[in-house]
Amino acid sequence: MDRRLTVFPCAGEWLGGTLDAAPGGTGLLIVSGGSAVRIGAHRGMALLAARLARAGVPVFRYDRRGIGDSSGTDPGFAAAGPDLRAAVTAFRAGQPQLRRLVALGNCDAAALLALEGRAAGLDAVILTNPWTGAEADALPPAAAIRARYRARLRDPAQWRRLVTGGVDVRRLAAGMRKLARGSPRPEPAARILAAIGAWGDDATVILAAGDATAIAYAHAAHGLATRTVTIDSASHSFARATDAEALAQAVARALAIPPLP
């Protein structure tokens, strides 16, 4: 495996990156969500990068400013457009044979790619559990609460927990109040959804069926015509081995390459 560490400039700072070099003409840029470093939760992105590179797909990962190996102050995802553009430039410089560039991002990184990807020179995006805005309270989105309650009402064990005091009644009541009053769509949602829709067939959305962020996205995006893949998982980072495998194969399909061995 040809894995190389690199640094590249961005707005007067230096960003740390990792290139898994390969001969293919289509490359994948992996963008971390939140304050995650480029290795990914559970080493998931590093493992995915190695696997794709063995299949001939070059992969580049990076830490934005103020995260991991990169200098400077973290600007947050909404102001990380310069970091994305710098990473695209570094990736193309390191793999000059690239003819097509696809990017993968989870959560708020998916929102960044939807909003800034075209301007950064991306040809397509793979968006996992796209973030559509923060809730006004500490509770999950109303759509996620509704889905969770629906599943629990069908589970006899949850009724026993309620009777025996195993349920946090105050949190249950707070959730019911939120459902009763409804949950307004977070302010960024319309802009993010419009950006995702504008990608058309160049966007693939991958959702973890039981993840609160994914449930909120699916509710907000109802009626939005996008290519969507749903994985039977509640893990936001696709943590289980079966989750990671499903994610890897979904990414391979989005890249239009054969199934990964």
Q: Which residues are registered as beta bridge partners of 14?
A: 9
Whole-angstrom distance, CA of residue 147 vs CA of residue 164: 23
pLDDT of residue 6: 98
* Mean pLDDT value across residues 119-128: 98
What crossing angle do the helices spanning 142-153 and 212-220 adopt, rounded to 10°?
110
| Residue 130 scores a pLDDT above 60 | yes
Q: How many CB atoms lie within 10 A of CB 177?
A: 11
pLDDT of residue 142: 57
- Note the pLDDT tens digit of each residue in 213-251: 999 999 889 889 899 999 999 999 999 999 999 999 999
pTM over 0.75: yes
Give domain status of residue 260, yes or no.
no
Asked whether 13 and 85 are in contact (CB, 8 A), the reply is no
Pairing of strands 59-62, 13-20: antiparallel
From 181, 208, 242, give the residue that closes a domain.
181
Residues 248 and 123 in one domain: yes
Per-residue tokens: 217:
């996205």
Give domain status of residue 170, yes or no.
yes
Asked whether 58 and 28 are in contact (CB, 8 A), the reply is yes
Residues 176 and 248 in one domain: no
* Mean pLDDT value across residues 174-186: 50
Nearest residue to 188 (alpha-carbon basis) of 82, 110, 83: 110
pLDDT of residue 77: 93
Residues 163 and 206 in one domain: no
| Mean pLDDT score across all residues of the chain | 87
pLDDT of residue 177: 53
Residues 205 and 152 in one domain: no
Which residues constitute the domain of residue 19? Answer: 3-134+185-254
pLDDT of residue 225: 86
The CATH code of the domain that includes 110 is: 3.40.50.1820
Residues 82 and 174 in one domain: no
Give domain status of residue 14, yes or no.
yes
Nearest residue to 82 (alpha-carbon basis) of 6, 27, 13: 13
Q: What amino acid occupies position 174?
A: A
| Residue 144 scores a pLDDT above 90 | no
| Residue 183 scores a pLDDT above 80 | no
The position carrying tokens 């793999």 is: 95
